Amino acid sequence: RGMKFYQHNHAEEFSFATDKPHVRLYDVLLEETDPDLVYLEMDIYWAYCAQFRFGKRVDGTPAPLDPLKYVLKHPNRYPLFHVKDGVRDESTRDGYRMSDVGDGDIDYKTFLSKVTKRTHHGRTYHHWQAEHDN
């Protein structure tokens, strides 16, 4: 009961900390916030853009990023999702061009099918909404 705090991501939250170049800022957020008080609303499109933009550390070493693994590791912290889609385009800064949901390359259906669970009362725990940024 009461008010809950939700954080909505963009790509930059998955970049690396300047004082710890091997640590993602998003990992700091997860570590430093109380899971009983702070919930996350993953924007699937921006998480996949982060996968493209921040797939390497500053020194060039690989740093794979799998948005689904974040959710599966902390499923109760992600009750909400923004579903957006994008066409893969490595010539752009973000690696994707936003498109209408269903017209792009992000496999959000598989993503959502792997994270949707039910509460002990049989209600759906995870919820999503589709949108298209302006």
- What pLDDT, on a 0 to 100 scale, did the predictor assign at position 86? 97
Q: Output the six-digit token pair for 85.
A: 């889609």
- What pLDDT, on a 0 to 100 scale, did the predictor assign at position 131? 84
Q: What is the total count of domains within the chain?
A: 1
- Tell me the pTM: 0.90
Burial of 86 (0-12, 13-18, 19+ CB in 10 A): buried
Containing structural domain, residue 112: 5-130
- What pLDDT, on a 0 to 100 scale, did the predictor assign at position 69? 95
Query: What is the average pLDDT across 28-47?
Result: 95
Q: Output the six-digit token pair for 16.
A: 């690396």
* pLDDT category of residue 1 using cuts at 50, 70 and 90: low
Give the integer Cα–Cα distance in Å for 20 and 58.
11
Provide the mean pLDDT of the chain.
92
Instruction: Using the predicted structure, report yes or no on whether residue 52 has a pLDDT greater than 80.
Output: yes
Write down how long the chain is: 134
Task: Report the run of H or E that residue 83 belongs to, with start and end.
Answer: strand 80-83
